[in-house]
Chain A
């Protein structure tokens, strides 16, 4: 060692007095930090799920925004009603294309149906069908674009996109076209989208169009669904809906004004929730039948029984 000064400094440094409390302070602090970490771990499970759900819900909302638009002024509506006799299903799927693509890792099967009417002279029906066709086109093109973009970005990532359709011809008045969408990456994600058209008026129909005027249908339907959720959860432990959960912001509050719906074979209103919308992902698509007496007096004639 070349320098005495440095040697002395080192010795001096080493003799900085260590307070008696240091050991206890350090041990206590380690315990405090560890306790906090354990608490965070506990919360994490729920929070992770919550953020995933929030993200999924937001993307679902974006898609839904694009879809349904109302047609027709009341003038052309009156005109249409005068002209068309009710003859059962007049709207149907007239053509249908399929987008298909597959690689070692990915697969896409996207059905693109086109609807039309049997009677060609009807202007009002024409307009409604064209509008649904445009919406279907936009929806399916967006799915295809998403698939192709993800494929271009990473061709070795697993991705399945399947879109299938069904015509729900359960009602003389209502023509309903249902899409079941599955997007599977690491885990699958299901969605349902249903387009409706009033075969009498040619009008595209949303949930609110089933009800008279300004009637509040959201509250009675939502409350009834919560009752059903509680009943189903009490009856079966494996069943979980987001109702009465500790994390209040996660709880199902009410249906959207344009909640997905269809009329089942018995003529009852069915409310449909996409994955994560009202229940944890493993519950999948969730449906509730709404007894007609719940909406009696506010539901318009001819849709439900």
Chain B
């Protein structure tokens, strides 16, 4: 596939899923302004690097991956500049008033968060999540069990792997 048509496919995929990209970004950065920045940067990276994708079917997972990495980079680079007191008293609190999912997700680490969101909220297959996070499927399963335990949620094996 040549660079031009790959770029068109990536563009198509972005237009299809930019709201999902935004929600995932929001889960990490926790406020509107920063989530918009993360989406904007992710879109830029995706279009600029479209020609590097090896196979068309990976576009979707690749896009998820870009959003997660961009969000994590964003958090890390911002953390450096924020004084320690501000971390102890988060200023983002008021952004998600009607929300306990975000609070709940906060007890998870970065990877656990991604696994839960992608598996249960975005209905991604375990194999694709493995691709997105660059881990093998068994590791993803382990992370999934661990995260659910932390969230105090109990599911059967079937529900874990195949969803509803």
> What residues make up the interface of A, taking CB atoms closer than 8 Å to B?
1-3, 5-6, 8-10, 12-19, 21-23, 25-26, 29-30, 32-34, 36-37
Contact = CB atoms under 8 A, between A and B. Distances in A.
Interface in B29-43: 32, 36, 39-40, 43
Contacts of B101: 8-9, 12-13
B117 interface: yes
Contacts of B161: none
Contacts of B94: none
B18 A3 contact: no
A179 B98 CA distance: 83
A34 B121 CA distance: 31
Contacts of B64: none
Interface of B: 7, 11, 14-15, 18-19, 22-23, 26-27, 32, 36, 39-40, 43-44, 47-48, 98-101, 104, 117, 120-121, 151-156, 159, 164
A34 B40 contact: no
Given A22-B19, A33-B47, A37-B47, A6 B155 contact: yes
Contacts of B154: 2-3
Main secondary structure, interface of B, reads: helix
B39 A22 contact: yes
Contact of B19 (A8, A9, A18): A18
A36 B50 CA distance: 13
Contact of A2 (B15, B104, B152, B155): B155
Contacts of B117: 13
A6 B153 contact: yes
Given A13-B117, A16-B26, A22-B18, A3 B155 contact: yes
Contacts of B164: 1
Nearest to B152: A5
B159 A2 contact: yes
A37 B36 contact: no
21 contacts: A1-B164, A2-B156, A3-B155, A5-B152, A5-B153, A6-B153, A9-B101, A9-B104, A10-B121, A13-B23, A14-B121, A15-B98, A16-B23, A16-B26, A25-B36, A25-B40, A26-B15, A26-B40, A30-B11, A30-B47, A32-B44
B71 to A, nearest CB: 14
Given A6-B153, A22-B19, 10 more contacts: A1-B159, A2-B156, A9-B104, A12-B99, A12-B101, A18-B19, A23-B18, A26-B39, A29-B44, A30-B47
B18 A26 contact: yes
Contacts of A25: 36, 39-40
